[in-house]
Structure 1
C-alpha cells in the first residue's frame, strides 16, 4: 500500500501543493486505503510537535524578524561596506560578509535571500554589476545562514536525533566559515576579471562607528551560543532571551521598532511558526507510515548491500540529498529523510554530529542548485531576470559549495573539532 503514499505525494508536489499539505494528503490517502482509524492522525501529529526543544524555533524566528525590522540588516551592510567596500567588487563581498554576520540572526537561507536581496541586488545593479551576478551572489551567500549558528535546521536535526543542540551549533561554525571564505574568494576573482567597481577606503573612525552600530546585534549571537554551550540555559530559554533582547535593542537602541512594527513581526512570526509546526506534525505521521512499512530498513539494506565503504555510502547520500534539496524545502527534507539516512550513516561508523552537518549542508546547497532551487527563484524575482541567467552566473559559486561539501564530508575534523574542544 506504500504506493498510495508515494503517488499522492508526488502528484501533490507536481500540482505545487504546499509541502505540508502534500504530506498530509498522502498520509490521509494511505490511512483511508489501509483502513487505519483516523484517530492516528492527531495522535502522531501531536507526538511529533510535543518536543521541548522545538519551542525554541518560534522564538528564534521571532527574534530574527524583530532584529530585521529593527534595522539590523542595513547596519550590518553598512559595517561590512566600511570593511570591504574598498576592494574590487566590494559590494559583492559586502553581500557575502553581511550574510555571514546576518546568518546568526536569521538562521534560514530563504529569509536571508529575501532580506539581503531586497537591499543588495538593486544597489549592485545601480553600481554597474551584472544582474545575474548580483542575484547569484545573494542566493549563494544565503546558504551560509543555516550552517553558522544559531540555525533552525540544526535544531530540527537535533530534535530528530536526540543530539545536543549546542554541539550541532558548534559543529556548523567552521564549515560555515569555510563556505563563506570560499564564496568571498570566488566573488573577488570574478569581480577582478570583470573590473567591477570599488569604493574609497573608509577611515578608521567610520569602521569603528560601524562596529559600534552593529555590536549590539552581534552580541545577541554571542549570548545565545555562550548560554547554550556553557549550560546556563536551554535552547528554548535562549530563544526567549533572544526575543526579549531583540525587543529592547530594536526599540531603545536602534529605535526602529514601533508598536505597528512589532504587531507585524508577531503576526509574521506566528504564521511562519504555525506552518512549520504543521509541517513537523505531518512529517511525523509520514515517518510513522514509513516505519510501519519498514521503508528505512529497506533503504538501509539496499545501500549497505551495495557497499559498506563509508565514503561510498556518504557519496550516495550526498547525491540523494543534493537532488532532494533542489526540489524540496530544507526542513521538510530533513524531517522525512534525516532519521532514515542517519541509521545508514551510523551503520558505517559515521559520527552523528558529523553526519548532521553533512545533511544540512547538502540540503541548503540544493536551494541554489538549478533548475528549481528555491533561493534562485527568490533572487531572480527580486532582480527581475530569468532563473536561467541566475543559474548560469551562480555556477562558480555552486562549484565552491561542492568543494566545501567534499572537504566537510571527507574530513570530520571540520565538524567535530569545536564540539570536542568545548563540550566534551
Structure 2
C-alpha cells in the first residue's frame, strides 16, 4: 500500500496513515500535473473497461495512452516523494551514530543521490532521443513522448537532492561530503582497469558492501540499488549506462503495475469515506461480547479491510483507533495490542488486492489471478494461528459489564457495512475467476468506492480528493522508482552468471525442495527486515523462482512462502520497518512493544512452516 518522519527508526514506503503533507510551493505545478495524470489514467482505464465489457468494442489505443501517462506519473511521483521526504530509507543505524557523523551523513546521503541521478541524466536523454525514432503502434506518435519522462524526472530530482543537501547540513559538512565523494570516485576510476579481474568479488564490493553502506547511512533504498548497480556497471564492465536506463524503464512501467497507483488511491478513498470503520464496527457488534472478541475483531478487520485497500499502513490506521480504546478498557496491554496489530497486518498482506502480490506476479511471471485466489486461503491459515494465540493471551481479560449486542444493532451495522464488505470479495472473484485483470478491477473498485462513499458514507470534499491524488502520486512514485532501480540491480546481478552458480549450489543441497524452502524462508525473512517487501522481491525473484521451478515447486505455493516469510521479517524487531509503523500508529514506544511481539512472530512462523510444508494449502483452490 504502505510510505515518514525521523521519529521512528525507518521511513516506511506506505505512509497513508501519517496524514497528507504539503511539499514545496515551487513544486505545486508538478503536483497538479501528477494529479491530472492519475485522473487521466483512471479515466482511460474506465473507458477501456466500459468499451470492452459493455459495448464489446475494445479501444486499442487505451493501454498505450495509459502506459505513456503511467511512466510520467511514476517519475513525477518520485520527484514529489523526494520533496516530501517520503522515499523508503532505513534510519535505525543512523540514529545510533554520534551527532557529528549524523550531520556528515545527512549531507553525504543527498549528495550520493544527486551523483547517481547526474550519472543517469545523460543516458536518459540519449534513451529519449533514440525512442524518437520509434512510433507507437496505436497512437502513431513518437515514443519519445513517453521516454522524455525519464530525463525530465531525473533532472528535477537532481535539483531537489542538491537542495536537501544544502538544507540538511552545514557548509563545512557539505564540503566534507563533496571531498569524500570526489576522492572515492577518483580512486574507483584509477583502479577500474584492475577490477574486472576480481570476477565475482565485484558483486560483494559493489552490490553487497556498497549497497549495505548506503543503507546504513540512510540513503533511500531506491537510490542504494541504483548507486550499487551504476557503480558496478561503470567501473567493472563495458556495458553502456543507457542499458541501465532501459532496465529501469522496464522495471517500473509494466502494464501490470498500472494497478499499483489505482489500489493506493483506493486505500485513500477507503480511509477518507469511513468504509473501513464501518467494517470494524460491524465485526465489533458481532464478536465483541466473547472472550478475546476484540482481538478477533482486530484480526478480522485487518483481513477484510486489507481486501479493499491493498496497504498495510492504511489497514492499521483504520483499525487501531477504532478498537484500541475498548481493548484497553478490557485490560489489554498496549504492547500486546501493538504486537497483534503488527502481525495481523503481516497476515493480511496476502489478502487481495495486495500490492506485493501484484508486483510479484509482474516480476516473477506468476498468474495474479492464481495469487489472489491462493492468498485468501493462506491468510486464513495465518489468521487461525494468530487467533489461537490471542485466545490464550486473553484468558485474563476483564469481561465485566460486557453484553452481547442486540440483533437489531448487529443488523443495522451490517446494513451500513455491507457495501464495503462486498468489495474485497468482488475484487477476488473478478480477478481469480478470470473475468477481468487486476488493473481493470482496481479501476472499477475505485469508481465503486467513490460512488458508494458519496451516496452512503458522506462523500469526500473536493480539496481532500486533490490531496489524495497527490499523495497517491508520491507514494506510487516511491514504490515504482524502487522497482526500477531494483530491476536494474537484479539484471546486473544475473548478467554476472552468479544466479547460475547459486542455482547449482542450492540444487545440490541435501533434502531437495524442503531444504530449499527453508533457505527461502531464511533469505526472505532477513531481506524483509532490511529492505521491505517490494525491493526484496524484485531483487531475488529472478534468481530464486527458476530454482524453485527446477525443483518441482509450484510457483503459487512458492510465492505464498516468499510473501509470508518476507512479512514475518518486516514485522520483526529490531530492524523490521512494519513493527515501527505499528508502534507509531498505536502511539506505543518500540522499546515497550518489542518484548511482546515475539510470541506473535512465533505464531506467524509456525503458520509459515505449515504453509511451506503443505503445498495443497496454496494450490488446492486454483
Q: TM-score, normalised by structure 2?
A: 0.65
Residue number in structure 1 paired with 2:428:
225
Please give the secondary structure, in 1, of the residue aligned with 2:574: coil
Is 1:379 paired with 2:578?
no
> Which of structure 1's runs of 4+ aligned residues deviate more than 6 A?
none
Is 1:243 paired with 2:416?
no
Deviation at 1:278, TM superposition (A): 0.8
User: Do the aligned partners of 2:316 and 2:582 also contact (CA within 8 Å) in 1?
Assistant: yes
Is 1:7 paired with 2:209?
yes
Is 1:286 paired with 2:286?
no
Following superposition of structure 1 onto structure 2, how do residues 189-338 of structure 1 map, counting pairs within 5 Å? 189-195=392-398, 199-307=402-510, 309-338=512-541
Q: Distance in 1 between matches of 2:447 and 2:218?
A: 37
Q: Distance in 2 between matches of 1:4 and 1:197?
A: 61
The alignment yields a C-alpha RMSD, in angstroms, of: 1.8
Return the match for 2:266 from 54, 58, 63. Answer: 63
Deviation at 1:377, TM superposition (A): 0.7
Q: Distance in 1 between matches of 2:423 and 2:586?
A: 31
Q: Distance in 1 between matches of 2:595 and 2:400?
A: 22
User: Do the aligned partners of 2:548 and 2:558 also contact (CA within 8 Å) in 1?
Assistant: yes
Return the match for 2:222 from 4, 13, 20. Answer: 20
Following superposition of structure 1 onto structure 2, how do residues 350-365 of structure 1 map, counting pairs within 5 Å? 350-365=553-568
Q: Distance in 2 between matches of 1:198 and 1:116?
A: 23
Is 1:31 paired with 2:215?
no
Deviation per CA, 1:319-355: give whole Å up to 9, x if none. Answer: 1211221222111111111221112211211111110
Residue number in structure 1 paired with 2:244:
41
Deviation per CA, 1:147-187: give whole Å up to 9, x if none. Answer: 11221111111111222111110111111012112212211
Q: Distance in 1 between matches of 2:306 and 2:481?
A: 25
Deviation at 1:198, TM superposition (A): 7.2
Q: Distance in 1 between matches of 2:342 and 2:400?
A: 21
Deviation per CA, 1:237-290: give whole Å up to 9, x if none. Answer: 111111111111111221142212212221111111111111111111011101
Q: Distance in 1 between matches of 2:394 and 2:248?
A: 49
Deviation at 1:387, TM superposition (A): 2.2
Deviation at 1:109, TM superposition (A): 2.6
Residue number in structure 2 paired with 1:422:
none
Return the match for 2:300 from 97, 117, 124. Answer: 97
User: Do the aligned partners of 2:296 and 2:387 also contact (CA within 8 Å) in 1?
Assistant: yes
Return the match for 1:135 from 338, 348, 356. Answer: 338
Please, which runs of 5 or more residues in structure 2 have no aligned partner? Answer: 1-201
Q: Distance in 1 between matches of 2:516 and 2:232?
A: 31
Q: Distance in 2 between matches of 1:378 and 1:299?
A: 34
Deviation per CA, 1:38-70: give whole Å up to 9, x if none. Answer: 212321111112322111111111112111211
Q: Distance in 1 between matches of 2:575 and 2:259?
A: 30
Residue number in structure 1 paired with 2:280:
77
Q: Which has the larger Rg?
A: 2
Distance 1:381 1:235, change over 3 A: closer
Please, which runs of 5 or more residues in structure 1 have no aligned partner? Answer: 420-424
Deviation at 1:121, TM superposition (A): 3.6
Please give the secondary structure, in 1, of the residue aligned with 2:327: helix
Q: Distance in 1 between matches of 2:470 and 2:323?
A: 26
Is 1:165 paired with 2:368?
yes
Residue-pair matches, total: 419
Deviation at 1:382, TM superposition (A): 3.3
Q: Distance in 2 between matches of 1:382 and 1:113?
A: 7
Moved more, 376-385 or 209-218: 376-385
The one of the two structures with greater contact order (alpha-carbon pairs below 8 A, sep at least 6) is: 1
Deviation at 1:233, TM superposition (A): 1.7
Residue number in structure 2 paired with 1:151:
354
Q: TM-score, normalised by structure 1?
A: 0.94
